[in-house]
Structure 1
Amino acid sequence: MPDRKSFLLRLDPAVHDALARWAADELRSTNAQIDFLLREALRQAGRLPSGATGPRRRGRPRNDEPAEP
């Protein structure tokens, strides 16, 4: 998988808490929830680049899958 970019995101504490609760309900990290929501919004707006890689798979990799670097 290609390298992922990181950046600082400043959020209102109440918004962060709501995202964290939503992420917990979906069994995701807060970071993964934000990534999911951004991808979904881009897809719905028709702006998701065709070359964008999908989100990482959940859980442990199967034994027959190559390990990610």
Structure 2
Amino acid sequence: MAEKKAFVLRINPEMLKELEMWAQQDFRSVNGQIEYLLSEAIKKQKRSKNKGTSSEMD
């Protein structure tokens, strides 16, 4: 497994509270939930880029 890089995240208290509740519902830590959400957003962004390039080739 790749080494993980630690960094500071500044987040407003209301958003953190929502993330904590969401993470608890999904049986994840807050860190795990943030990683999951970022991973899904990156996958979605890559798919939308690929759709854009394939339609340009047509």
Q: TM-score, normalised by structure 1?
A: 0.66
Q: Is 2:20 aligned against 1:24?
A: no
Q: Structure 2: how far apart are the matches of 1:22 and 1:7?
A: 22
Shift of 1:2: 1.5
Greater helix fraction, Structure 1 or Structure 2: 2
State how many pairs are aligned.
Answer: 47
3-state SS of paired residue (1:46): helix
The Cα RMSD (Å) is: 1.1
- Aligned residues with identical type, % of pairs: 40
Residue of structure 1 equivalent to 2:7: 7
**Unaligned 5+ residue runs, structure 2?**
48-58
Q: How does 1:1-69 map to 2 (within 5 A)?
A: 1-46=1-46
Q: 5+ unaligned residues in a row in structure 1: which ranges?
A: 48-69
